[in-house]
Structure 1
Amino acid sequence: MGSVRKASAWLGLVEDNDERYYDDEYAEGDRSSDAWVTDPRVRVASEAAQEEGRRIATVSPDGFRDARAIGELFRDGVPVIMNLTSMEPADAKRVVDFAAGLTFGLRGSIERVATRVFLLTPADTEIVNGEPAGRAQDGFFNQS
């Protein structure tokens, strides 16, 4: 099993079997010269949050063609939560590959939040773990 295949299996995108990774028949969609219109499946915080630099976008793409919205938001410095649960596994793999290249190229990071849900963060964003810093090792409910 190759390293990309192992990584995809670890991310929960594929099962451990011998299927081809990429579909040979990738049809490029119709590229019209119309202006980019925001997809209603993309939700971004209000303008007040935008002015203060506190925006996070959530994107639930249906196919690989929706990767453009992810790339444009991330390129603008907005952290993106990708929910790939409604996608076909082959397209989900391609979107994860696209996002990995995007984060590498722009020096960001990608982190799996849940099965088929990923967080893309730009280089200037710090991810803080939700665990309290001063929590005792014995825990609150230890009654011994």
Structure 2
Amino acid sequence: MASVRKASAWLGLVEDSDERYYDDEYTEGAGAAEQWVTDPRVRVASESAQEQGRRIATISPDGFRDARGIGELFREGVPVIVNLTSMEPTDAKRVVDFAAGLTFGLRGSIERVATRVFLLTPADTEIVSGESSGRSAGGFYNQS
């Protein structure tokens, strides 16, 4: 039963009461920015991409409490892909409302990419669509 509890704690489903695995020096020295980058639900590009300004973050929040991570990355000018497919519908609506206010306040934009997946882009980021403006509405194989 202990292995099930450890696996549940690792997945974040239950509180981990086993403190022997934590190093106090490491947790005290970690900065706020490192906490978000090391979160397994957040993926950000490498440091070389950060130096060139080419980063995109993907976040799959578990609840509304994870909205802060979205806001901090977006304030840094990082485009954020928010995947809400694993959230409860009420919390997902709250996160979308938060993201809409965030993008409005920082003059960015929010775009729905797929069902319950949104792209938040800062004001200085251009979204390039893969669709050609000259393509007919009937599709590629329309011969009429």
Quick one: distance in 2 between partners of 1:90 and 1:49?
35
* Structure showing greater relative contact order (alpha-carbon pairs closer than 8 Å, 6 or more residues apart): 1
**Any idea what the Cα deviations from partners look like across 1:98-135, whole Å, max 9, x if unmatched?**
11111011000111111110000000011111113454
Give the gaps of 5 or more residues in structure 1: 1-32
5 Å-filtered alignment, 1:1-144, equals: 35-36=31-32, 37-38=35-36, 39-135=39-135, 140-143=140-143
Quick one: distance in 2 between partners of 1:78 and 1:62?
20
Quick one: distance in 1 between partners of 2:117 and 2:40?
19
**Any idea what the Cα deviations from partners look like across 1:43-78, whole Å, max 9, x if unmatched?**
011112111111110000000110111001000000
Alpha-carbon spacing, 1:141–1:60, altered in 2? closer, same or farther (3 Å): same
Please state whether the residue corresponding to 1:103 is helix, strand or coil: helix
| TM-score, structure 1 normalization | 0.70
Quick one: distance in 2 between partners of 1:96 and 1:59?
13
Aligned residue pairs total 112
Quick one: distance in 1 between partners of 2:84 and 2:138?
37
Please state whether the residue corresponding to 1:111 is helix, strand or coil: strand
Quick one: distance in 1 between partners of 2:82 and 2:88?
14
- Identical-residue share of aligned pairs (%): 82
Larger Rg: 2
Quick one: distance in 2 between partners of 1:50 and 1:140?
38
Alpha-carbon spacing, 1:99–1:140, altered in 2? closer, same or farther (3 Å): closer
Alpha-carbon spacing, 1:101–1:136, altered in 2? closer, same or farther (3 Å): closer
Structure 1 stretch displaced more, 114-123 or 43-52: 43-52
Please state whether the residue corresponding to 2:82 is helix, strand or coil: strand
Quick one: distance in 2 between partners of 1:101 and 1:140?
38
Per-residue deviation, 1:81: 0.3
RMSD: 2.0
Letter matched to residue 91 of structure 1: D
